[in-house]
Amino acid sequence: MFSYADGATMSAKKDALVNIGGFLSINNPDLAMQCRNLLIVTEGFPTYGGLSGRDLEAVAIGLQEVVDENYLNYRIRSTAYLGEKIVAAGVPIIEPPGGHAIYIDAKRFLPNIPPHEFPGQSIMCELFIEGGIRSVEIGSVMFGKYDKDGKILSPPMELVRLAIPRRVYTQSHIDYVAEVVIEVYKNRDKLKGYKIVEEAPMLRHFTAKFEKL
């Protein structure tokens, strides 16, 4: 399978049920050598890449468990359950939900807040204030670019991602998340946009500071 690509990456945090690790594969031997050399001076030797023996063992076990059909059915059904509950209350999401996350459609959730005022960020902040729920904006904060006049060029979609950790949440946890999302949606007319007051030149969505409008 990998022979058909120039390279590939895999995050063990997403696919192997562990808290760290992954791999990079490259078909170009010269480039692979450069990567291995860089790895040695930045992370560790190629056979462990800075990971502990415990993490390597967890990756080996996780890659076996992650293809178990009972586990996959539970994970996919848990995500679908959250999607179904909030959709029934009118919350707009990207459908159908997959196994990794629920994506709230911020444009439809907050049509009164334009992209340059970051509707996804507004929802994300309110979810945390209302119920301590951490989410991430995937829209104009993460991908928006500035034009020559300093205006935000918005991406096609404004989303809020509710990523579901593996083997962490029970049904009661998912019910709580749904209740908070629905409560925020009921009070959506009270939500305000945000402006960026401080940002890094790259990857600003990790460290940017905002102010409510």
Q: For the chain, how many structural domains are there in total?
A: 2
Per-residue pLDDT tens digits of the chain, which is 213 residues long:
888 899 998 888 877 888 888 888 999 999 999 999 998 988 888 888 888 889 889 989 988 988 899 988 988 999 999 999 999 999 999 999 988 899 999 999 999 999 999 999 999 999 999 999 999 999 999 998 888 888 888 889 999 999 988 888 888 999 999 999 999 999 999 999 999 999 888 888 889 999 999
> What CATH number corresponds to the domain at position 194?
3.90.1150.10
Is residue 118 located within the same domain as residue 169? yes
Is residue 12 located within the same domain as residue 59? yes
Amino acid type, 186: K
Domain boundary among 45, 65, 85: 65
Q: How many CA atoms lie within 13 A of 180 on its CB side?
A: 19
Residue with tokens 């946009």: 193
Is residue 190 located within the same domain as residue 137? yes
Is residue 50 located within the same domain as residue 142? no
Is residue 178 located within the same domain as residue 123? yes
Q: How many CA atoms lie within 13 A of 194 on its CB side?
A: 19
Q: Is there a contact between 194 and 117 (Cβ–Cβ < 8 Å)?
A: yes
Beta partners for 145?
153
Give the domain extent around 58: 2-65
Is residue 154 located within the same domain as residue 82? yes
- d(Cα 74, Cα 86) in Å, to the nearest integer? 19
Q: Which of 101, 135, 120, 99 is nearest to 194 (CA)?
A: 120
E-strand ranges in 69-167 read 101-105, 136-138, 145-146, 152-153, 159-163
Contacting residues for 5 by C-beta, under 8 A, at least 6 apart: 27
